[in-house]
Amino acid sequence: KTQQQTQQIPSGCPMHGAAPSGCPVTQMAEAFDAFEGPYQLDPAEALRWSRDQLPIFYSPKLGYWVVSRYEDIKAVFRDGILFSPRNVLEKITPATPEAMEVLKGYGYAMNRTMVNEDEPAHMERRRALMDHFIPANLEKHQEMVRRLTREKMDAFINEGRVDLVDAMLYEVPLNVALHFLGVPEDEIAVLRTFSVAHSVNTWGKPTDDQQVAIAHDVGQFWAYAGKIIEKMKQEPEGTGWMHETIRKNAEMPDVVTDSYVHSMMMAIIVAAHETTSLASANMFKTLLSNREAWDDICADPSLIPNAVEECLRYAGSIVAWRRQTTAPARVGDVDLPEGAKLLIVQASGNQDERHFEDGDKFDIYRDNAIDHLTFGYGSHQCMGKNIGRMEMRIFLEEMTRRLPHLRLAEQAFTYLPNTSFRGPDHVWVEWDPALNPENEHPELAHDQLYFPVGAPSRRDIARKVRVAQVRQEAEGIVGLTLEDAKGRPLPRWSAGAHVELVLDGYDRKYSLCGRADASGYDLAILREDAGRGGSRYIHDHVRDGMELRLRGPSNLFRLDEEAPAHVLIAGGIGITPIIAMADRLKALGKPYAIHYCGRSRATMALLCRLEADHGDHLHVHSKDDGSRADLAAIVAALPEGGQIYCCGPERMITALEDLTADKPEGTFHFEHFSAHDTGLDPEKEHSFEVELKDSGMTLQVAADQTVLDAILAAGIDVASDCCEGLCGSCEVTVLEGDIDHRDMVLTRGERAENRRMMTCCSRAKNGGRIKLA
Ligand code: HEM
Ligand code: FES
């Protein structure tokens, strides 16, 4: 696209032409205001129209392209070269000449730090300064965070009413940050004024008069940062990350430059505490407004790490971040010119239904909350994320244990208007001190639960459900209806979604096959005597009224609802996600056909419902009746642009892969319902080296270890779900080396390309070295 072509888009709507067109979508884009109105009230909700109708749009008021869908935001974060972070700390509202004069007077020269540095300088610097942030090196700070939190709580525990922000959530993160950085702890009040000034200066829309006042604060902050550096230089043996930075500046001045040190000193004070204070304030507001979640945590504190993650997803403190294109680029369906400025709205992506089931619902049992974008993603992903998590977990653990009867006071919440940093200025809470549990049990003041530093473990996440009905679906297939154990509504789910039953030693995944509007979850489970025991256990032990634990729902087999036609093919028990897809397509009024293959009608689950709900669209191929699906004819008859979805045995999927090999990319979608044995036999496997380009590490993967295990052990968050090569969530980009692909996610063509791999099961071929992004 030429510059001229792409620049026409801003004033109009790609679908409805140039403004003024009367097109409501275009009008929404033109009305978008990042500093007031709906975006300031609730950024995710304010962009719902965009996620649904125009996921990338130009905002004339802001002069930025706004990106609102999860996958698009992630794609932008992923490519730090094409989408440079160089504008991340740029003043979003340009300085007035008067303000510039003031700043000049202070010698203000804020420049590249880490977060706004381009490659290759960024990665070199990040690697040189990463050590202090590794989970093992952060453990020692837990005690300090605990101590500071308790000091603050002791001071207000008998008050009965307090503003949590002023009483604790502001100062503790600031003290922790100063301690971690090794910055002397004086002048906290001054730092608070400075930080607010820096935020408004960078992400806000000050009036011309405010610009001057803020410029003075920012200028003083700059001078102050310079003084701190000088003071710290007097202590060459000092501990803390900024001391380390100053030493590295002396050792490798080309990598850790003087300009970097001064700019970073100013930026990190905000990065390290403002982010965490606001996130913690959001967390308490959210949890106390969702009382059931708060009560569940009080009853079971092991839920805390995931609850924190869900708070970061649902109400994160960084709601939008920036990037700038270094060449013409494409995001989603939109071509952008070189130099285009992007506002990527994580708060919107974090509630995108295309990635998070029932995304606008707050759900502390959500098992992919960790996929949120609040810490960014890719090579610039927040280095301090595990410090933020640690603080939020300790706040929540202490508060739920010592003040479970806490409630939110009546109040109107206020926020500092800006594009990116979000959290209430105050969170007033109340409680009756006479009911403090430690009045009767003084030991509660000193109890504590330990959470290892790092991402939450999926093992701890599971909601309690009750078996409302057990029925015989077909020969060898049992049907279950599950309801929330406390009678609450279960999260909504989309066609193709599955849940994971957490049984005695067996975690098994099953697709949801009930009607989408039903209050419970329906599953159909085939007894597999040769399997690993999960289905046998369910058939033999699960009875009406029993309580079970369940993870999800998650969806890794999504339906492209935009396709003009769909052919759905199920083999045996593979009907479960397929029936949900058929229900959805029927509701949408789209053309579809179902081909359901099985041994005999008696063994085919859900036939009655299929016949009742989808009669005209259903083709049953039962072997005993001599009817076999002619897959070649089905594929040949696929209308142009049509898509095929299949869930069934491996041979069926392989056959369809062959038959669709010439069709356009994205025609064929499949889900396996069984995995090969993924156990690793060290006798037969090789150990090998993996180089991780983005984090600058080289890891040794032992013969009995997966790449995923090795990466997680090094403190890097990689999403994972099934851990058996079925779901695709642990995918990484391969840069060099031959891969022995053992997953069931990649198509044959994708394997041959050798550009992606699933870390939970695939390995380096013959023990060779591989390089991943
Ligand atoms: C970068 C958010 C806490 C240090 C970032 C980025 C975000 C972010 C959005 C940019 C990511 C990207 O461009 O992909 C947060 C949130 C926090 C938090 C929400 C708390 C809840 C902290 C803490 C520290 C810290 C406590 C340090 C003690 C950094 C640094 C970077 C960064 C050094 C730059 C990394 C790079 O560019 O390579 N953070 N942060 N953050 N954060 Fe945080
Ligand atoms: Fe599911 Fe790797 S975790 S494919």
Going from the first residue of the chain to its last (773 residues), give the mean pLDDT of each consecutive group of 10, the final group possibly shorter: 37 47 79 94 97 96 96 92 95 94 93 92 89 90 97 98 97 93 77 84 92 93 91 91 94 93 89 94 98 96 96 98 97 96 98 95 94 91 94 98 98 95 97 97 93 84 94 95 95 95 81 92 90 82 94 91 96 96 97 96 96 95 91 95 95 93 91 62 84 84 89 78 75 93 82 90 90 91
Distance between CA atoms of residues 27 and 734, nearest Å: 43
CA of 538 to the centre of ligand 1 (A): 44
| Ligand nearest to the backbone CA of 756 | 2
Is there a contact between 58 and 32 (Cβ–Cβ < 8 Å)? no
Q: What is the position in ligand 2's atom list of the atom closest to the CA of 727?
A: 1
CA of 77 to the centre of ligand 2 (A): 22
User: So what's the pLDDT on residue 166?
Assistant: 96
Q: Where does 22-88 have alpha helices with state H?
A: 24-31, 38-41, 43-46, 48-53, 70-78
Is there a contact between 145 and 172 (Cβ–Cβ < 8 Å)? yes
Strand partners, 135: none
Q: Which residue lies with its CA nearest to atom 4 of ligand 2? A: 725
CA of 757 to the centre of ligand 2 (A): 10
| Ligand nearest to the backbone CA of 374 | 1
| Ligand nearest to the backbone CA of 126 | 1
User: So what's the pLDDT on residue 639?
Assistant: 93
Cβ within 8 Å of residue 719, ≥6 positions away: 368, 370, 371, 729, 730
* Bridge pairing between strands 477-484 and 521-526: antiparallel
Distance between CA atoms of residues 401 and 449, nearest Å: 10
Q: What is the position in ligand 1's atom list of the atom closest to the CA of 173?
A: 26
CA of 306 to the centre of ligand 2 (A): 20
Residue whose CB lies within 8 A of the most ligand 2 atoms, among 367, 720, 732, 744, for a mutation test: 720
CB under 6 Å to ligand 2: residues?
A: 720-723, 725-730, 743, 745, 758, 760
CA of 141 to the centre of ligand 1 (A): 18
Q: Which of 543, 550, 444, 452 is nearest to 493 (CA)?
A: 550
CA of 769 to the centre of ligand 1 (A): 31
Q: Exposed/middle/buried for 415, CB within 10 Å: 0-12, 13-18, 19+?
A: middle
Cβ within 8 Å of residue 674, ≥6 positions away: 528, 531, 649, 650
Q: Which residue lies with its CA nearest to atom 2 of ligand 1? A: 375
Q: What is the position in ligand 2's atom list of the atom closest to the CA of 720?
A: 3
* 255-282 as b/e: b if 16+ CB within 10 A: bbbeebbbbbbbbbbbbbbbbbbbbbbb
User: So what's the pLDDT on residue 187?
Assistant: 65
CA of 142 to the centre of ligand 1 (A): 19
ipTM score for this prediction: 0.95
Q: Which two tokens stand for residue 747?
A: 């198509």
Q: Where does 159-274 have alpha helices with state H?
A: 164, 171-181, 188-203, 208-233, 241-251, 258-269
| Ligand nearest to the backbone CA of 311 | 1
User: So what's the pLDDT on residue 6?
Assistant: 38
Cβ within 8 Å of residue 767, ≥6 positions away: 686, 687, 688
CA of 719 to the centre of ligand 2 (A): 8
Residue whose CB lies within 8 A of the most ligand 2 atoms, among 676, 711, 724, for a mutation test: 724
Residue whose CB lies within 8 A of the most ligand 1 atoms, among 81, 141, 179, 275, for a mutation test: 275
Q: Which two tokens stand for residue 380?
A: 């610039």
CB under 6 Å to ligand 1: residues?
A: 77, 85, 114-115, 126, 177, 180, 271-272, 275-276, 279, 316-318, 321, 374-378, 380-384, 387-388
Q: Which two tokens stand for residue 29?
A: 């884009």
CA of 105 to the centre of ligand 1 (A): 30
Q: What is the position in ligand 2's atom list of the atom closest to the CA of 556?
A: 1
Q: Exposed/middle/buried for 410, CB within 10 Å: 0-12, 13-18, 19+?
A: exposed
Taking CB atoms within 8 Å and a gap of at least 24, the contacts of 479-482 are: 479/522, 479/523, 479/524, 479/525, 479/605, 480/522, 480/523, 480/525, 480/538, 480/542, 481/514, 481/518, 481/520, 481/521, 481/522, 482/520, 482/521, 482/523, 482/548, 482/550
CA of 404 to the centre of ligand 2 (A): 38
